[in-house]
Amino acid sequence: MPASNTGVPAAATQQQPTRRFSLVRCVATCLLALIVLVGLAVLITWLVINPKKWVYTLENGSVQNFNLTNNHLNATFDFVLRAHNPNRRVSVYYDYIECTVTYEDQTIVFNTIDPFFQPHRNVSRVKSKLVALHSEMSPSTSKDLMIEKTSREIQVDVRFKTRIRLKVGIWKSNHRTLRIVCYSATVQLSRYKHFDKVPCETEL
Ligand SMILES: *[C@@H]1O[C@H](CO)[C@@H](O)[C@H](O)[C@H]1NC(C)=O
Ligand SMILES: *[C@@H]1O[C@H](CO)[C@@H](O)[C@H](O)[C@H]1NC(C)=O
Ligand SMILES: *[C@@H]1O[C@H](CO)[C@@H](O)[C@H](O)[C@H]1NC(C)=O
Ligand SMILES: *[C@@H]1O[C@H](CO)[C@@H](O)[C@H](O)[C@H]1NC(C)=O
């Protein structure tokens, strides 16, 4: 009795390792093949879509009705953002756009812009008008603004916070946040309406 008891498991344990080994090898081979296939599919999709970076430039900017009295600011800003989508297959839904003008990291004014759809290989110009009405400035910011005002030009940062969806063929992505920052835009207070274009940085 004890002999047969130990004999059966002994035979089983002798056979199992080779069977288990071949099973493991098969699963490993299948997994590897699957990974290679998925990798190839991703690579081909990537090559077909060929994503390129969007390019944003602040093309024009001006300020009117500038009045800074007792640390309170009235001013009307106008900006034109040039949005270039160089992609052949990717188009963009801009579902929400918020524009903020800051001076020395202090928000002067913000506003939202109408949503729009940008087709592939397209250049669009996004216009924003921002009206600061009795906007409170810290005393130090106010002082610096006053000093800059005498030179008839002020330097601000213009930020766009957008919620976008991508469209490739009939597929649409989820929402994601795209930030566009245009640093050191110089707007003229004089009648002279010159504006130096500002290349903007993006953060997805
Ligand atoms: C920039 O905007 C100002 C004021 O809106 C306008 O007078 C000027 O012609 C614009 N310049 C360009 C190059 O579009
Ligand atoms: C600026 O606003 C103050 C207060 O509203 C007003 O008294 C002053 O005349 C304004 N200055 C200009 C240049 O419009
Ligand atoms: C800004 O405009 C409002 C409304 O026109 C006015 O009451 C206020 O005094 C102005 N403030 C400045 C600093 O010009
Ligand atoms: C870009 O797309 C907008 C909106 O569809 C269209 O009005 C504009 O003409 C297009 N511009 C170019 C250069 O294709």
Torsion, Cα 189 154 68 192, to 10 degrees, reads 0
Ligand 1 site residues, Cβ closer than 6 angstroms: 60, 62, 78, 193, 195
So where are the chain's domains? 1-49, 55-203
pLDDT at 190: 81
Contacts of 189 (CB under 8 A, 6+ apart): 63, 66, 149, 152, 153, 154
Q: Is 65 in the pocket of ligand 2 (CB under 6 A)?
A: no
Residue of minimum CA distance from atom 9 in ligand 1: 193
Identify the CA nearest to 79 among candidates 104, 50, 113: 113
Say how far apart CA 92 and CA 166 lie, in whole Å: 5
Is domain 55-203 classified as CATH 2.60.40?
yes
Output the CA 122–ligand 4 centroid distance in Å. 6
Say how far apart CA 89 and CA 40 lie, in whole Å: 20
Q: How many CA atoms lie within 13 A of 168 on its CB side?
A: 12
Q: Are strands 201-203 and 72-85 parallel, antiparallel or unpaired?
A: unpaired
* Helix, strand, coil fractions of the chain, as percent rounded to 5: 30, 50, 20
Say how far apart CA 112 and CA 104 lie, in whole Å: 21
How many angstroms separate the Cα of 29 from the Cα of each of 26, 162, 165? Answer: 5, 45, 38
Averages of pLDDT over runs of 10 residues in the chain (204 residues) are 48 61 88 93 83 94 94 95 95 97 94 97 96 93 92 94 95 95 94 90 91
Output the CA 195–ligand 3 centroid distance in Å. 27
Contacts of 179 (CB under 8 A, 6+ apart): 159, 160, 161, 162, 202, 203, 204
Residue of minimum CA distance from atom 6 in ligand 3: 134
pLDDT at 1: 47
Q: Is 69 in the pocket of ligand 2 (CB under 6 A)?
A: yes
Q: What angle do CA 124, 126, 127 make, to 5 degrees?
A: 140
| Amino acid residing at 141 | T
- Letter string b/e over residues 170-203, b meaning 16 or more CB atoms within 10 A of that residue's CB: eeeeeeeebebbbeebebebeeeeebeebebeee
CB atoms within 10 A of CB 39: 10
